Amino acid sequence: MTQLTGKTCVVTGASAGIGASLAKGLAAQGASLALVARDKDRLAEVARECERLGAPEARTYACDFASLEQVRELADRLLEDLPRIDVLANNAGLTLTHRQETVDGHEKTFAVNHLAPYLLTRLLLDRLVASAPARVVVTASDAHEFGPIDPDDYMSTKAYKPLKVYGRSKLANILFTTELSQRLAGTGVTVNCFHPGFVSTSIGRDHPIGVLVLKVLRPFIKSPQQGADTGLFLATTDVPENGKYFVKRRVHAVKNDAQDPKLAQRLWEDSGELVGLD
pTM listed for this prediction: 0.92
Per the structure, the complete domain to which residue 263 belongs is given by: 8-275
Question: Which of 61, 154, 166, 245 is the catalytic position?
Answer: 166
> Mean pLDDT, to the nearest integer, of 80-101?
97
The β-bridge partners of 195 are: 247
Q: Is the pLDDT of residue 248 over 80?
A: yes
pLDDT in tens, 20-35: 999 999 999 999 999 9
In a domain, 3, yes or no: no
In a domain, 127, yes or no: yes
In a domain, 1, yes or no: no
Read off the pLDDT band of 211 (50, 70, 90).
low
Q: What percent of the chain has pLDDT over 90?
A: 85
In a domain, 25, yes or no: yes
Nearest to 43 by CA among 53, 65, 58: 58
* CATH at residue 251: 3.40.50.720
Nearest to 111 by CA among 88, 89, 95: 95
- The pLDDT of residue 1 is 47
Report the chain's mean pLDDT, rounded to a whole number: 92
pLDDT in tens, 93-135: 999 999 999 999 999 999 999 999 999 999 999 999 999 999 9
In a domain, 121, yes or no: yes
In a domain, 72, yes or no: yes
Cα 6 to Cα 1, 76, 87, 225: the distances in Å are 11, 22, 12, 24
Asked if 118 is an active-site residue, the reply is: no
In a domain, 19, yes or no: yes
Asked whether 134 and 85 are in contact (CB, 8 A), the reply is: yes
Span of 30-34, 207-211, 267-271 with lowest mean pLDDT: 207-211
Read off the pLDDT band of 223 (50, 70, 90).
confident
In a domain, 2, yes or no: no
Domain count, the chain: 1
Q: What percent of the chain has pLDDT over 70?
A: 91
